Amino acid sequence: MNIKNIFNFCLAELLVWSLISLSYFFVSGFYPSWTGGIFTALFIVGNSFMFAAALFAVLALVRLIGPKTAFWTAVVSGGFFSLILGIDFIVYSQYRFHISVAMLQLFFGPAGREIFVFTAGTYLVLAGAVGAVFALTWGLAKISCRFTFSAKKIGAVCAVLLLIFTGYNGLYAWGKFMLVPAVLTQVPYLPWAQPLSLNRRLRKMGFTPKTQPYETPRKGTIQYPLQPLSCQTEQTPNILVILIDSWRSDAFTEQVMPKLYRQYQKAKNVFYFTDHFSGGNATEAGVFSFFYSMPSSYVASISASETRPVLMQEMDRLGYRFGIYASSRLDSPPFSRNVFAKIDNLRISSKADTKWQRDREAQDEFLAFLDKQDKDKPFFGFLFYDATHGSEFDPQGPAPFQPSADGINYLTLTKNTDPAPYLNRYKNSAYYIDGLLDQVFSELQKRGLMENTLIVLTGDHGQEINDTRQNFWGHNSNFAKYQTRVPLLIWWPGKEGAEMAYRTSHFDLVPTLMKHIFHCSNPPRDYSLGTDLLDNTPRPYSLITSYTNKAILQGDTISVLNNYGSMTSYNENLQPVENPVSPQVMAEALKDFSHFYK
């Protein structure tokens, strides 16, 4: 094999890998738009070109040893990558995520046969496929040695491929900056795709991103709900959802939030779920799991089609008035394109400068919304406080927890940093929100709304303040209880409340409301991955996701599948454990990530 033969072989492999890559789109669906179609074509070839170029570089170096060594290295390396790509396609078609070291560890580990169940026939087909792949690769290598392109033709082919690669990266950079769903949501289809992002550079150059979502055709792969809902609502109570960003489970105490605690104690209709977990350790995953009852791995598909949660669809059908008031922006993460899509005149952001001021602004506007309501029509209210996210509070107001840090400089924090002053600052921010909540409850009572308003109060995720003494501050860094466990309280008119000590999660909220409020006869699995909150049957596991990782919680054991290729297991205090979650749980949990795909 000479250099030109190597070029021929890599070009042939590029074509093979492009054909395999095309198969992913038959699983995930094609976008019936010019933008989506052009990006698909560039993406398939451009991503394959990256691997073909790497193979060429390796074989060119091996050629220095000798032509035969280069030939057999080409057969082995090209065949091996084709085989890995084919296996990844099988994994993706089943679970909608790509093969990684973690998946290989599961497959070849002692529990692999329990998690991945294959028949003897499957293994025979796989063996035949392996032989066919390497035979095909050998054939391509032999053919590549018999043809020689001129330097001019090789240069022309390289120029075209570089143009495609540049176009693929350029179109993605533009699509990401301008929030083009037909571009953004295709990237997870292909394995190991890392296109270029230029958001920061484009902003510095003075470009302004698009603020409103593009209208794109609905994708054909997501099926949510699995069956049309059959609901027979007899009464339509008001529903108010209140989220507190980064609300730690231990922040709901008589000392930290005394006014809210008194509201809980004096009311007879409050359900307090004491062992409740969010569906994520970050805002997007937490809020998405709360409203959709599915992990945030579905965000891209849901957002591309702007499919609203069944909860919002049902309330819209029943004529609910929507009052959405968040302290932070609703377009980053893009809740305006999923949870709150298609709401007229949606309030995207607050105007104040600080989090604590924006909290007050959002609340004032919500209370003004209540003043405009027709008592004969129900409303859905949404309040999202943000002060605890940044440990902010009114500097002129009370700060009972001392000593309190003046601010948080993450660059100076270490695992040996005393967390007490920072925890006190966080408590002061929770104390501030406690005062705001007291005003909300007072206004609801003054307007006579407490008797017919179901109130759900929880957090989007937790907040770690060096609790494990491993230098973790904030959230989205691990799945230990400090970042994932949150309070959940529900004021439910007409019911006798109670303290619920069994484990629940954000996935359980939607099936609870669809069953008890809207009287839907569908099984919950038609539209959710959760269980009725009032059902104390033990949950076999809970799913928790971040922007990059997927975690499975069973008891106190957390197994994390990292998108970058590893699997780790630890307990709720972030201490490593030897055994991951059980193989049976792992097998069922993996299926959940593809439950709503056709």
More confident residue, 598 or 492: 492
Residue 100 has a pLDDT of: 64
DSSP 232: -
**Based on the domain organization, do 44 and 86 belong to the same domain?**
yes
Residue 74 has a pLDDT of: 94
DSSP count for the chain of H helices, then E strands: 18, 13
Q: At what angle do helices 3-28 and 34-62 cross, to 10 degrees?
A: 150
**Based on the domain organization, do 468 and 581 belong to the same domain?**
yes
Q: Edge-to-edge, what's the strand order for the sheet holding 557-562? A: 542-545, 549-554, 557-562, 567-571
User: Residue 385 maps to which CATH number?
Assistant: 3.40.720.10
**Based on the domain organization, do 64 and 192 belong to the same domain?**
yes
**Based on the domain organization, do 190 and 284 belong to the same domain?**
no
Tell whether 545 is covered by a domain: yes
Tell whether 279 is covered by a domain: yes
Last residue of a domain, one of 183, 204, 225: 204
Judged against a pLDDT cut of 70, whether residue 280 lies above it is answered with yes
**Based on the domain organization, do 49 and 189 belong to the same domain?**
yes
Residues 461, 286: contact at Cβ < 8 Å?
A: yes
What is the mean pLDDT of the segment spanning 372-393?
A: 93
In angstroms, rounded to a whole number, what is the distance separating the alpha carbons of residues 430 and 242?
Answer: 14
Last residue of a domain, one of 159, 182, 204: 204
**Based on the domain organization, do 124 and 250 belong to the same domain?**
no
Considering only CA atoms, which of 524, 527, 587, 509 is closest in space to residue 554? 587
Tell whether 181 is covered by a domain: yes
Tell whether 213 is covered by a domain: no
**Based on the domain organization, do 194 and 333 belong to the same domain?**
no
Residue 210 has a pLDDT of: 57
Tell whether 415 is covered by a domain: yes
Please, what sign has the CA dihedral across residues 101, 105, 108, 113? negative
**Based on the domain organization, do 182 and 246 belong to the same domain?**
no
Tell whether 221 is covered by a domain: no
**Based on the domain organization, do 33 and 84 belong to the same domain?**
yes
**Based on the domain organization, do 193 and 246 belong to the same domain?**
no
Environment class of 436 (CB within 10 Å of its CB; exposed 0-12, middle 13-18, buried 19+)? buried
Q: At what angle do helices 355-371 and 420-446 cross, to 10 degrees?
A: 10
**Based on the domain organization, do 244 and 173 belong to the same domain?**
no
Judged against a pLDDT cut of 70, whether residue 218 lies above it is answered with no
Considering only CA atoms, which of 59, 58, 31 is closest in space to residue 44? 31
Taking only the tens place, the pLDDT of each residue in 544-582 is 999 878 999 999 999 998 765 567 899 999 999 988 898
Taking only the tens place, the pLDDT of each residue in 313-336 is 999 999 999 999 999 999 888 899
Rounded to the nearest integer, the mean pLDDT of the chain is: 89
Q: Which domain holds residue 14?
A: 3-204
What is the mean pLDDT of the segment spanning 385-402?
A: 96
Last residue of a domain, one of 204, 229, 255: 204
DSSP 19: H
Under the banding of pLDDT at 50, 70 and 90, the label for residue 220 is: very low
Q: Provide the pairing of β-strand 321-326 with 379-385.
A: parallel
Tokens 């749980």 sit at which residue?
Answer: 585
Under the banding of pLDDT at 50, 70 and 90, the label for residue 184 is: confident
In angstroms, rounded to a whole number, what is the distance separating the alpha carbons of residues 537 and 533?
Answer: 10
**Based on the domain organization, do 34 and 89 belong to the same domain?**
yes
Copy the structure tokens of residue 265: 């104690």
What is the mean pLDDT of the segment spanning 299-313?
A: 89
% of the chain with per-residue pLDDT over 70? 92
Tell whether 172 is covered by a domain: yes
Tell how far CA 298 is from the center of its chain: 7
Tokens 């009464």 sit at which residue?
Answer: 235
What is the mean pLDDT of the segment spanning 433-460?
A: 96
Domain count for the chain: 2
Tell me the CA distances in angstroms from 275 to 305, 427, 555, 572, one per residue in order: 34, 20, 11, 12
More confident residue, 349 or 300: 349
Taking only the tens place, the pLDDT of each residue in 48-84 is 999 999 999 999 999 999 989 999 999 999 999 999 8
Residue 95 has a pLDDT of: 62
| Identity of residue 507 | F
Tell whether 84 is covered by a domain: yes
Considering only CA atoms, which of 509, 371, 382, 378 is closest in space to residue 453? 378
